[in-house]
Amino acid sequence: MSPTHAPPELTPQRLGRIRTLLLRWYDEHEQHFPWRGARDPYLALVAAVCAQQTQMSRVLEIYARWTEAFPTLEACAAASRAEVLRVWGRAGYPRRAVHLHETSRICVEEHGGALPRDQEALLALPGIGPFTMAIVSSFGFGDDAAAVDTNIIRVIGRVVCGDLQPATETPRATIDALADQLMRPGTAARWNPTLMDYGGRVCTPRPHCDECVVSHLCAARPRFAAGEVAEPVRAQGAFAGSDRDWRGRLMQELRDRDDGHGGSNSGGGGGSTVSSLLGTVASTRAERARARRLLNTLVSEGLAWVEGERCGLGAAPR
Ligand code: SF4
H or E stretch at 100: helix 95-110
In b/e form, how buried is each residue of 132-141, taking b as 16+ CB within 10 angstroms?
A: bbbbbbbbbb
- What average pLDDT does the chain have? 90
Distance from Cα 196 to the centre of ligand 1, integer Å: 14
Write down the pLDDT at residue 272. 86
Q: How far is CA 193 from the centre of its chain?
A: 14
| Long-range interactions of 142-146: CB distance < 8 A, separation 24+ | 142/39, 142/188, 142/189, 143/117, 143/119, 143/188, 144/183, 144/185, 144/186, 144/187, 144/188, 145/119, 145/188, 146/176, 146/179, 146/180, 146/182, 146/183, 146/188, 146/191, 146/192
Of the candidate ranges 124-128, 241-245, 247-251, 304-308, the one whose mean pLDDT is the lowest: 241-245
How far is 107 from 116, CA to CA, in rounded Å? 8
Q: Which of 21, 151, 195, 202 maximizes ligand 1 atoms within 8 Å of its Cβ, making it the mutation to test the pocket?
A: 202
Name residues contacting ligand 1 (CB within 6 A). 158-159, 202-203, 207-209, 212, 214-215, 218, 220-221, 224
183: helix, strand or coil? coil
CB of 52 closer than 8 Å to CB of 149: no
Confidence of residue 57 (pLDDT cuts 50, 70, 90): confident
Give the pLDDT of residue 8: 62
User: Residue 297 and residue 243: Cα distance in Å, rounded?
Assistant: 11
pLDDT value of position 268: 38
Region 133-161 average pLDDT: 95
Q: What's the pLDDT tens digit per position in 170-222?
A: 889 999 999 999 999 999 999 999 999 999 999 999 999 999 999 999 999 99
Confidence of residue 262 (pLDDT cuts 50, 70, 90): very low
Sequence-ordered list of residues with C-beta below 8 angstroms from that of 12, at least 6 positions apart, any chain: none
- Which residue's CA lies nearest to atom 2 of ligand 1? 209
Atom of ligand 1 nearest to the CA of 213: 6
207 CA from centroid of ligand 1 (Å): 6
Ligand 1 center–CA 273 separation, angstroms: 56
Give the pLDDT score at 1: 44
- In this prediction the pTM is 0.85
| Composition of the chain by helix, strand, coil, percent to 5 | 55, 5, 40
The conformation of residue 167, written as its DSSP 8-state character, comes to S
**Whole-number Cα distances in Å, 11 to 21, 181, 205:** 16, 11, 26
Going along the chain from its start, the domains and CATH numbers come out as 12-32+146-225 (1.10.1670.10), 41-141 (1.10.340.30), 243-313 (1.10.10)
For the CA of 202, the nearest atom of ligand 1:
7
pLDDT of 167: 66
pLDDT in tens, 277-304: 998 888 898 999 999 999 999 999 999 9
Size of the chain in residues:
318
87-114: pLDDT as tens digits? 999 898 999 999 999 999 999 999 999 9
User: What residues form DSSP beta bridges with 304?
Assistant: 313
Predicted confidence at residue 52, as pLDDT, reads 86
To the nearest 10 degrees (0 to 180), the angle between helices 274-281 and 243-257 is 130
- Among left, alpha and beta (phi > 0; psi -120 to 50; other), residue 21 is alpha
